[in-house]
Amino acid sequence: MAYRIQFIYASLFVIIIASTVLISYVSGTKQLEREVISSNLQMLNQINKRIESALTEIDRAIVQLLQTGDASFFFNTPHADSPEYLIRLDGFQSQISGLKRSYPAIQSVYLSSRANDMLLSDELYNPTSEEADKNWISTFYKEDFYYKWTANPLFKEKPVNGHTVTLIRFYPMAEKPKDRKGVIAVNLPEAMLSDMFSDLQFGNSGNVLVTDDQGTILSHADKSWIGRNIAEFKLGGQLLTETDSGFIRHKNGKASEWVFYGSSSYTGWKLFYVVSQGQLSGLFLTIRNILLVLAGVMVLLSVGSVMLVNRTWFSPMERFIHKVESLFNKRDGETAGGAGSLRPDFNRLEGRIRDVLTGYSDAVRQIQESKPALKLQILFDIVTGHRTRYDLAKTYFDHIGIAFYPANYIVMIAEFDNKALLEKMSDLNLYLYAICNVAEELMGEQEGLKGGAVQINEYQVIILVSFQEDDAAVNGQRAIHLAHALSQAVQTYIKRSVSIGIGSYCRRFADIKNSYQTAQERIHYKLVAGHNTVITGDDISGGDGAELMELFDLADQLQDAVWQTNMDKVAELLSSIFSLAARSGFTDKTMVQFGLQLIYRTGKKTADHALTARLQADHARIEGELNQAGSLTDMRQYLFKLMEQMVKALVEKRTSKGKMDEFIARVKSYISLHYANSELSLSYLSDEFGISPNYLSKAFKTSIGVNFVDYVIDVRMQTAQKLLLQDQATVSQIAEQVGYPNVTSFMRSFKKYSGMTPSEYRQAERINALPR
């Protein structure tokens, strides 16, 4: 029979596993297909945005170039051979070269001007009549667009790649074709676009392409496709009519294909991404294989489990039943004199087994309701208000070994002092258990007084006291005497001190929770009251608003003292703060929160970001230290240590700032003596002074507010201005005297600094010097 059950269960498990795998595969493949479509559309849109961002950034740089004064000079000024004209063109070429360095993707930049009939790039400036082909210029002058991205090569360049993407813009940028004075063409390599397709899951298979709004292919992994029209292919015409983004699924022969598409509002281009069924099948096959492996493992585990259960449970149980059955048959045969059919009494067997299980349940319940656990549960339910009827709770009192009068109660909470030391103590629960025993013994020794005590957390014990007489004043004094006796006993026998908060007096059993709440509130004044104290309502005064204002005023003075690094004043103000706290009777929680605010506000006052970050990172540790403080004196000493660390950090920071200013003064002096050295640079000075270039650059900027390069240029240009006015030295000679071996670089820097060329500056200053 056991083997038959084993076969049934194994077959059932196999059917369930097979059904689960099939359902998971069907739902999983559908979900995967939806996720593949969603992820590919998102990735396609991201790549489209990336292309737009790259092209827009280059377009923005071209617009800025066209808005410069040099661009206006080139497009509006007729050709001339004067030095000033050539210098302006040289400066404009330098801007174009700088643009190409800033944007490495730019392959070439060409500008054509109607005013001077010239073609200009960063490498040449020649009249367009010298070029072999200039038809592209007149062609674009007539176009109505203001800018356009195209892949058609405009003209033949020397080192150009065969496939380029070109931006066309006009000068002025917003004029009609008849009023245009020039055109600019910016060439980018087509590979810049195709390289962005690598993020697509199947983007390396030659199935991604970019077309313009007419369907001409602009970019593809197979360069022979560039220039063909997408309308030549299946679905090409339909895809050109689609807007925004989406996908089309269609049959390509026997296999299915997904065509994802997106469009750009900036360039007018369309981006297509084709994924075949075969590419997606790999993902589905992976899921199928994983599910099959899991199914195989689950089948093996289920069959193994059935065999194990059969061996360890069903077979022994079957043998047990047969043995019991044989015993019953034997006993029935003896009773009946051995006559008749031997048959087990299953009702009797069931009753015996039920008795065994019931006895086991009773044993478990008795263990769970053992005296310590039940005592904690009952007392805690009473003080928290979950048990409010004396008659119902009384049935448990004898079982847990305590007794209470039906009225007149006070709750006390005893808490160990010096929590920081207690964390190092072993067997702390044993000490709390001892306090409970001492409290119950003291209550048992006094006539007309009953009660119980139990540990509620790792530091506290609650003591519930009931009185026979209904006299609030007398009972309150008896509770105080009991608390003092308990404190003395703990100090004598356990060698530790405790503070005890005494709750309010209540007559009804249902109001015990109110006494417990007031006891909790009063034990929170332990920090102000000090160690080994009994805290009652008469000991709590509670600070008013004026005292809080005085406390925060002292805190502000303390922050100023830390900023002034006056530790004597810090110590004096901390003493005043905690003296005021002791007089005002602030709770432990209030003092902890005030201490945290004092630390963080003082740290912020120092303006030391590293110190502030360290204080914020140590928030939990600092709060723990304040909570562990056993007295106001301990808290004051801990805060004084933190303030001392802040003062030390301030002193170190200010000393370091003074040394940095002294060092930068030496560097400035060196520059004033050696500015004529053309090799003067950060690396040169770092070797001279034995420091790193990075540190020198940051120190220079921090100390005088100007970067190193600008400072050196300022020194050289001021000296050059003086030399231009003092003697008749040539511009080349003056350039060499101020550290410029290349006169062109000197003239460019001088014009940028002074707004005019050296010759213009010398002439203007001489005219200004003439008497009027």
Whether the per-residue pLDDT at 169 is higher than 70: the answer is: yes
Computed over every residue of the chain, the mean pLDDT equals 79
DSSP 8-state secondary structure symbol assigned to residue 227? T
Q: Which residue has the tokens 């009068």?
A: 405
Asked whether the beta carbons of 276 and 253 are under 8 A apart, the reply is: no
Phi and psi, residue 635, nearest 5°: -65, -40
Query: CA–CA distance from 268 to each of 94, 417, 432 (Å)?
Result: 32, 78, 80
Share above pLDDT 90 across residues of the chain, in percent, rounded to a whole number: 10
Asked whether the beta carbons of 398 and 482 are under 8 A apart, the reply is: no
Using H for helix, E for strand and C for coil, what is the string for 115-178? CCCEEECCCCEEEHHHCCCCHHHHHHHCCCCCEEEECCCCCCCCCCCCCEEEEEEEECCCCCHH
- The 10s digit of each residue's pLDDT in 11-36 is 887 888 888 878 877 777 777 777 77
Whether the per-residue pLDDT at 10 is higher than 80: the answer is: no
For residue 270, the cross-strand partners are 211, 263
Which of 105-109, 139-143, 253-257 has maximum average pLDDT?
105-109
Share above pLDDT 70 across residues of the chain, in percent, rounded to a whole number: 80
Who wins on pLDDT, 206 or 518? 518
pLDDT of residue 336: 39
pLDDT of residue 297: 84
Would you list the DSSP string of 684-747? Answer: HHHHHHTS-HHHHHHHHHHHHSS-HHHHHHHHHHHHHHHHHHHS---HHHHHHHTT-S-HHHHH
pLDDT of residue 126: 57
Who wins on pLDDT, 153 or 483? 483
Would you list the DSSP string of 651-693? Answer: HHHHHHHHHHHHHHHHHHHHHHHHTT-TT-SHHHHHHHHTS-H
Cα separation, 606 vs 664, whole angstroms: 25
User: 495, 380, 382, 356: which is closest to 435 by C-alpha?
Assistant: 495
Q: Which residue has the tokens 């404009």?
A: 92
Least confident of 48-52, 153-157, 623-627: 153-157
Q: Which helix (H) or strand (E) holds 316?
A: helix 315-335
Least confident of 375-384, 720-729, 733-742, 743-752: 720-729
- The 10s digit of each residue's pLDDT in 435-446 is 898 998 999 888
pLDDT of residue 47: 84
Taking the domains of the chain in order of start, what are their residue ranges?
Answer: 1-300, 371-539, 545-640, 675-769
For residue 272, the cross-strand partners are 209, 261
Cα separation, 227 vs 210, whole angstroms: 11
Mean pLDDT of the region 499-526? 88
Q: Which helix (H) or strand (E) holds 26?
A: helix 2-66
Cα separation, 700 vs 708, whole angstroms: 6
Name the burial class of residue 392, with classes exposed (0-12), middle (13-18) and buried (19+) by CB atoms within 10 angstroms of its CB. exposed
- The 10s digit of each residue's pLDDT in 53-106 is 889 999 999 999 999 998 999 889 998 888 888 888 888 889 999 998 899 889
- The 10s digit of each residue's pLDDT in 628-683 is 777 778 888 888 888 888 888 777 776 666 677 778 888 888 998 998 898 888 88
Mean pLDDT of the region 716-741? 88
Phi and psi, residue 367, nearest 5°: -65, -45
Mean pLDDT of the region 348-371? 62
Mean pLDDT of the region 732-741? 90
DSSP 8-state secondary structure symbol assigned to residue 760? H
pLDDT of residue 157: 46
**CA 88 from chain center: how many Å?**
51
Mean pLDDT of the region 266-273? 85
Cα separation, 360 vs 350, whole angstroms: 15
Q: Is 312 helix (H, G, I), strand (E, B) or coil?
A: helix
Cα separation, 344 vs 347, whole angstroms: 9
Q: Is 536 helix (H, G, I), strand (E, B) or coil?
A: coil
Task: Give the count of alpha carbons within 13 A of 523, CB side only.
Answer: 24
DSSP 8-state secondary structure symbol assigned to residue 311? I
For residue 249, the cross-strand partners are 258
Mean pLDDT of the region 236-245? 76
Phi and psi, residue 3, nearest 5°: -70, -35
Cα separation, 756 vs 767, whole angstroms: 15
Residue 364's CB is within 10 A of a number of other CB atoms, namely 10
Cα separation, 585 vs 239, whole angstroms: 80
Least confident of 30-39, 120-129, 161-170, 723-732: 120-129
DSSP 8-state secondary structure symbol assigned to residue 213? T
pLDDT of residue 335: 46
Q: CATH fold of 1-300, please?
A: Beta-Lactamase (3.30.450)
CATH number 1.10.10.60 is the correct assignment for the domain at 675-769: yes
Whether the per-residue pLDDT at 334 is higher than 50: the answer is: no
Q: Is 358 helix (H, G, I), strand (E, B) or coil?
A: helix
Angle between helices 619-628 and 609-617 (to 10 degrees): 60
Would you list the DSSP string of 434-494? Answer: HHHHHHHHHHHTSTTEEEEEEE-SSSEEEEEEEESS--HHHHHHHHHHHHHHHHHHIIIII
User: 369, 374, 386, 429: which is closest to 516 by C-alpha?
Assistant: 386
Whether the per-residue pLDDT at 130 is higher than 60: the answer is: no
**What's the CATH number of domain 371-539, 3.50.50.60, 1.10.150.110, 3.30.70.270, 3.40.1260.10?**
3.30.70.270
User: 148, 137, 139: which is closest to 173 by C-alpha?
Assistant: 148
